[in-house]
Structure 1
């Protein structure tokens, strides 16, 4: 992420073989980390439109729907349900989840995908505020 001085990433794979990843970005100071978080939130406000543009270009249904599923102080969770268009994303029907928490000089991100081709029990987004809180607690340990 632009402006970060350190990046750590940990990947995971669910029992349904759906990918997940956690990332920690450290910045020179709290203001720079806050700016990165604010930039991410602004980018996510354009995600539905950008996703539909990609879908149109790739000739798949333009069905992307982005929702904010939870917020805490300096933390936001999103869910995007759509027909993926390939490239950096998996193709086919899926739901992508992204969580971002800013604390002091760092930003913690966590994301995972639910792919229709790899069925698993659906994620209950009513737990997203608790997940954001857990990420905030994790970030406070660094």
Structure 2
């Protein structure tokens, strides 16, 4: 074989190899496949829209070589990282003032007398029959910044500089409590005492109005069960309207005494139209005497 013929054969073989490699590359590209074997377009990068954890958009626009899915739009995004959105801090809720806080009752100096020790459970009315037990110790309650303290649907206390409460529960799971209010002076306590008494003296009509509004039979009756120089007592029997009282038939007993700048309100409830161990209200004058002595302690 001559040298010229050998060179021509070598060049032809090299050209054939280039053509075969190019054909294979074209066959593997998605744009050159047949419709039957066409590859799905590449998924586009997604961008999080969450302000809590933003993700930077892709720095390079997606390729336009492949066809886009129907209805999609290809756009390029800035290459800078999206700033993190700051969550606004929750507003600080004002805390209700405590009895000894100077902001709890505007215009008072909080020179309220210290509260007496809580009543012993055995001294509560009907204790021998229902076995009262304290539900914790005497608690300093939070005074409202404005307005009064609702004792029931009928009575409200205003102007107190300190408020303490003791709760009790009977073996039948009925409630009782003692509320001790301290005022800055005797005159303020006397006004509060009279306002409570006025509210409870008018409680029958107040309760019937509530029943009428609540669609409950207007059967409320309120009687004064004790009137002494030391204090007053009342009993309310009614079908209660849900709210300050539990719903249903019941009798609520209220006791009110004052000693100097201290006012004490005690109460307990008997549930049902015919409660077991029904309390005899003829003992209420003695309860007032006991509470008055307790207020001095």
Q: Which residue of structure 1 lines up, in the alignment, with residue 221 of structure 2?
A: 65
Normalised TM-score (structure 2): 0.46
Q: Which residue of structure 2 lines up, in the alignment, with residue 21 of structure 1?
A: 177
User: Is the aligned partner of 1:132 residue 2:288?
Assistant: yes
Kept in 2, the 8 Å contact 1:5–1:27? The answer is: yes
Higher relative strand content = 1
Kept in 2, the 8 Å contact 1:16–1:120? The answer is: no
Q: Provide the C-alpha distance between the structure 2 equivalents of 1:119 and 1:16, rounded to a whole number of angstroms.
A: 10
User: Is the aligned partner of 1:3 residue 2:165?
Assistant: no
Structure 1 counterpart of 2:249, from 85, 93, 102: 93
1:103-135, Cα deviation, whole Å (9 max, x unpaired): 111101100000018943011100000001110
Structure 1 counterpart of 2:279, from 104, 123, 129: 123
- Structure 2: state its 5+ residue gaps: 1-156
Q: Which residue of structure 1 lines up, in the alignment, with residue 198 of structure 2?
A: 42
Q: Provide the C-alpha distance between the structure 2 equivalents of 1:66 and 1:53, rounded to a whole number of angstroms.
A: 13
- Structure 1: state its 5+ residue gaps: none
Normalised TM-score (structure 1): 0.95
Q: Secondary structure at the match of 1:66?
A: strand
Kept in 2, the 8 Å contact 1:75–1:102? The answer is: yes
Shift of 1:92: 0.8
Kept in 1, the 8 Å contact 2:230–2:288? The answer is: no
Q: Provide the C-alpha distance between the structure 1 equivalents of 2:202 and 2:216, rounded to a whole number of angstroms.
A: 19
Q: Provide the C-alpha distance between the structure 2 equivalents of 1:26 and 1:75, rounded to a whole number of angstroms.
A: 16
1:12-71, Cα deviation, whole Å (9 max, x unpaired): 001111100001001011111111001111111221101001101111110000000001
Aligned length: 141
Kept in 2, the 8 Å contact 1:16–1:118? The answer is: no
Q: Secondary structure at the match of 2:213?
A: helix
Name the Cα RMSD after superposition: 1.3
Q: Which residue of structure 2 lines up, in the alignment, with residue 83 of structure 1?
A: 239
**Larger RCO (CA within 8 A; separation ≥ 6):** 1
Kept in 1, the 8 Å contact 2:238–2:251? The answer is: yes
